[in-house]
Amino acid sequence: MERKVAVGGSEEAASVGSGAGAPEPLRPWETVRESESTVESASTTLSLPDPGNGGDSADGLWELPVEHALRRPECNRCSRPQKVCLCPFLPAHRLNISTNLYIIQHPAEENKVLRTVPLLAACLPQDKVKVKIGRRFNEERDPELSAICRNPSTLILYPGAEAINLEELVSNSPNNLSTIIIIDGTWSQAKDIFYKNSLFRLPRQVQLKTSVSSQYVIRTQPTNRCLSTLECAAVALAILEKNDHIQETLLRPLQALCSFQLQHGAQIRLSKEHLLKNGLYPKPMPKNKRKLRKMELLMNSVKI
Ligand SMILES: [Zn+2]
């Protein structure tokens, strides 16, 4: 199970999630990340379904060359750029769960190119998901979090020798687990947050036996790490709620995101330039001197 976590400093809490329809006020992660546009807007072969919510009217504009300084509108529901909105992969109705999910998000996470917590939040009841951003928490400044950590029915998901397998715990204590805390960040960020906040030593520490990350192949993509928190949440909630459907539903938008990333990556990997440089070009080299010259230039990365 690969986990990611980050570093940061703010301490605001925000409930996450949004309705499918009316525009909602900006949530903490809804500031536009311009870096996101470079990868996704470059693709013209995107096979995601038409977003259908708000993207249509602006379709003509997307065909025009757009300066990088321009910010792209984001979907209110999934927080994705409208052009690559993942709402078609979200459940029609928010999942009905009784567990409260408390995500402790390293401040660097909210600026990640691919944010998956908004996807998670869009699948769950708004009053069941809370995201708290920060690195350091204490009883005085964070009374609500402190109360949650002190509640005997709260769990914290963090693997280690002290951690109990969640499945075992659930089968032994079926009815009194109300909240699960998940740390969102890279491994080192999560470690820092877990060990440097004594509050997080209060809840029962649990881990997941299953490693679902392996079902995703984007090993070398930046998305890989980003998936983990959502995957962990999906698996943990399915166990706590005793409902595998929850896991499937939560992972669906993620799978769509992955397949888009893979499609895009595949385009790069299978480019002629790449194939030539790596001796993988499957066709015989051209006999025409002009074409041959062009190939040589490609191999040497000269812009032609
Ligand atoms: Zn959307």
Pair 83, 162: CB distance under 8 Å:
no
Q: For the packed helices 244-269 and 223-241, what is the interaxial angle rounded to 10 degrees?
A: 170
What separation in Å is there between the alpha carbon of 41 and the centre of ligand 1? 15
Lowest mean pLDDT among 80-84, 196-200, 212-216, 280-284: 212-216
pTM: 0.62
Return the sign of the alpha-carbon dihedral for residues 91, 94, 98, 104: positive
What separation in Å is there between the alpha carbon of 52 and the centre of ligand 1? 9
Report the C-alpha gap between 53 and 51 in whole angstroms. Answer: 6
What separation in Å is there between the alpha carbon of 75 and the centre of ligand 1? 5
How far, CA to CA in Å, does 272 sit from each of 170, 218, 275, 293, 300? 52, 22, 5, 14, 12
* 183-239 pLDDT tens trace: 988 778 889 999 999 999 999 999 987 544 434 344 333 333 334 688 889 999 999
pLDDT of residue 14: 40
What separation in Å is there between the alpha carbon of 30 and the centre of ligand 1? 12
Report the C-alpha gap between 91 and 270 in whole angstroms. Answer: 34
What separation in Å is there between the alpha carbon of 145 and the centre of ligand 1? 30
What separation in Å is there between the alpha carbon of 76 and the centre of ligand 1? 6
What separation in Å is there between the alpha carbon of 31 and the centre of ligand 1? 15
Is the pLDDT at 49 greater than 60? The verdict is: no
* 105-149 pLDDT tens trace: 999 877 765 677 888 999 999 999 999 999 999 999 999 999 999
What separation in Å is there between the alpha carbon of 9 and the centre of ligand 1? 28
pLDDT band at residue 278 using 50, 70 and 90 as cut-offs: low
What separation in Å is there between the alpha carbon of 111 and the centre of ligand 1? 18
pLDDT band at residue 72 using 50, 70 and 90 as cut-offs: confident
pLDDT of residue 279: 61
DSSP state of 30: G
Hey, what domains does the chain have and what are their CATH numbers? 82-269 (3.40.1280), 270-304 (no CATH)
Helix (H, G, I), strand (E, B) or coil at 104: strand
Lowest mean pLDDT among 56-65, 239-248, 271-280: 56-65
